[in-house]
Chain A
Amino acid sequence: MKTIVKTAALSALLVGCGSPPLTIPDDFVVLDDDYADYDVRATNAHGAVLAVREIDNDVEGNLSFWVDAVKNKLRNQGGYSLLEEADVNAGSGHAGHQLRFGRDQNGQAYQYWVTLFVTPDTVWVVEAGGRGEVWTDAQARVEQAITTLSLE
């Protein structure tokens, strides 16, 4: 029952902000991120974070363009290693692409996922990540949440 309420509240929030609905995992809370670059951002108690942003696709780039843009940016200028990539589908059926990066810092391993969905007008960017074992615990639920994204 709690999940339904949370999903409904988040959906209302997202619709109100013009953002896509996304089912947030049970152990995550939505942050009040008015000042941030994200349309919605949620975190669990251990520091795994899930965020969504909606970018105007003014230049009408396709999925391939934006995937490459993100890939180049994070690999060449961000110091991330691309560990894995895969095609994914949103809850609305739109095809997207997921880039799974890794980064080590101060002896800690971090995971950072960027999942992209592109429509003629909008680029949907779903980011998720966290430190080592924290991410390992949250990964399955985050992966599941991404598949609930609706671009309708």
Chain B
Amino acid sequence: MKNLVWAAAALLLGCGGSSYEYAATAPRGDSSEGGYGDVASTGGYAPPAEPAEESVSRMEVMADASGGGADFDSWDGEDDVAAGPATVQPQYAQNQPPPQQPTQGGPTQTQPRPQQGQATDAVDLSQPLLIYTATLHLGVYQVEATQETVIGIINEVNGFLSQRTDNTIVVRVPAAQFQSVLDRIEDAGDVLHRQVEALDVGEEYRDLAIRIRNSEAMRDRLEQLLRQASNVEEALAVERELQRITESIEQMKGRLRWLSDRIAFSTITIHFQPRATETLSTDPFRLPFQWLDTLGLSNLLSL
């Protein structure tokens, strides 16, 4: 049974010729078969086919639960990863064209309105995975009224209010509506400053998906080893590893959910700056005729 524990340890340490590859360090597009994220590929350790299918199934469940709905069925692994260049878009200046919609025509337009803080739109892995964020500084005359106008715009597109203070609101809008909403918000005041960013997280997203899949396959194998443990010592050793890898999986899933949410719903932060209003003098009305100021007994009787 000791051999079983050693086998598990070797597996976790990555030695022993395991075919598991870690997406973050794996070469992209230079392998035509097996390998990258393919749990069932050849190698020193070949997890059974059934657990591998389960891991994919779990991934789908996870994605649904996260609201991100990653479309792993349509993703065939390595080739897609290699085909998805990780290019971070530069910031857009005031007059530069804004970024294109990342999921036009995708399921984002047909999803029901999400609860606040959730995103239910699916992530289309065939498109660049971009997180759009924008920051606007608007000069307005009536801050509260303009805030209400912006919130009305957000509601129309099934977006939601994320944060609100006296002079700032943060809203989330479906990525497909990002540009049109931005245009409408800009019409609500004078744009004093504008910053738009499109962050490509495709590489990180796909890496995470692969690492989750690998980790889940590893977890399944550890569960098998746990069932085969013959004494308490072996069982405890395997359980420790199980716990570690389970925590790692949950962390990665959490990150994936966060990315899915940010991809599906763009974030727009609007700072409202009240315009200085004219202050009317409270002094008595004065005609602009100087001689009127010299009227009076004080002058007249001053000999």
Contacts and interface: CB of A to CB of B under 8 A. Distances in A.
A78 B296 contact: yes
B297 interface: yes
A77 B286 CA distance: 9
B295 A129 contact: no
B284 A77 contact: yes
Contacts of B300: 41, 49, 51, 112, 127-129
Contacts of A127: 295, 300
Residue of A37, A55, A76 contacting most chain B CB atoms (<10 Å): A37
A103 interface: yes
Interface string A66-83: 000110111011101000
Given A72-B285, A74-B296, A76-B284, A129 B301 contact: yes
A73 B287 contact: yes
Contacts of B297: 103, 110, 112, 129
Interface string B246-287: 000000000000000000000000000000000000001111
A120 interface: no
A37 B299 contact: yes
Interface residues of B, number: 16
A110 to B, nearest CB: 6
Contact of A78 (B285, B291, B295, B301): B295
A125 B291 CA distance: 10
B289 A112 contact: no
B299 A112 contact: no
A149 interface: no
Contacts of A43: 303
Contacts of A112: 296-297, 300
A63 to B, nearest CB: 15
Contacts of A53: 291
A123 B139 CA distance: 49
A31 interface: yes
Contacts of B163: none
A70 B292 contact: yes
A64 to B, nearest CB: 14
B294 interface: yes
The 3 closest A-B pairs by CB, nearest first: A37-B294, A73-B292, A112-B297
Interface of A: 31, 36-37, 41, 43, 47, 49, 51, 53, 55, 59, 69-70, 72-74, 76-78, 80, 103, 110, 112, 114, 125, 127-130
Given A43-B303, A51-B300, A69-B287, 7 more contacts: A36-B299, A49-B300, A49-B303, A69-B292, A72-B285, A127-B295, A129-B297
Interface of B: 284-287, 289, 291-297, 299-301, 303
28 contacts: A31-B303, A37-B291, A37-B294, A43-B303, A49-B300, A49-B301, A49-B303, A53-B291, A55-B289, A59-B289, A69-B287, A69-B289, A70-B295, A72-B287, A73-B287, A73-B292, A73-B293, A73-B295, A77-B284, A77-B286, A110-B297, A112-B296, A112-B297, A112-B300, A127-B300, A129-B300, A129-B301, A130-B301
